[in-house]
């Protein structure tokens, strides 16, 4: 997967995360050429990064409250 394709996937993911509720099917239809295994791989990587960020931000606050 080349850098340009990865950036295109990231742009699509950003559109999906920031769109109005219900716009996702239209966005996916307009970008159906990007619906492939590469997109799934990038989505998984983004989800893992977001999960790590949430852990870094939320976990210390939670531990302070319970400790």
The domain limits of the chain are: 3-66
What is the largest distance, in Å, between two alpha-carbon atoms of the chain?
50
What six digits make up the tokens of 10? Answer: 């990231």
Other CB atoms closer than 10 Å to residue 9's CB: what's the count? 22
pLDDT for 53 beyond 90: no
- Residue 21 or residue 58, greater confidence: 21
pLDDT for 1 beyond 90: no
Provide mean pLDDT across the span 18-35: 96
Rounded to an integer, what distance in angstroms lies between the CA atom of residue 21 and that of residue 11?
A: 18
Q: How far, CA to CA in Å, does 11 sit from each of 45, 55, 57, 61, 66? A: 14, 24, 24, 31, 39
């Amino acid at each position: 997967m080349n850098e340009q394709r990865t950036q295109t996937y990231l742009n699509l993911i950003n559109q999906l995360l920031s769109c109005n509720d219900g716009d996702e099917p239209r966005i996916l239809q307009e970008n159906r050429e990007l619906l492939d295994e590469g997109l799934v791989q990038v989505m998984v990587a983004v989800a893992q990064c977001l999960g790590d960020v949430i852990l870094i931000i939320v976990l210390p606050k939670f531990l302070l409250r319970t400790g």
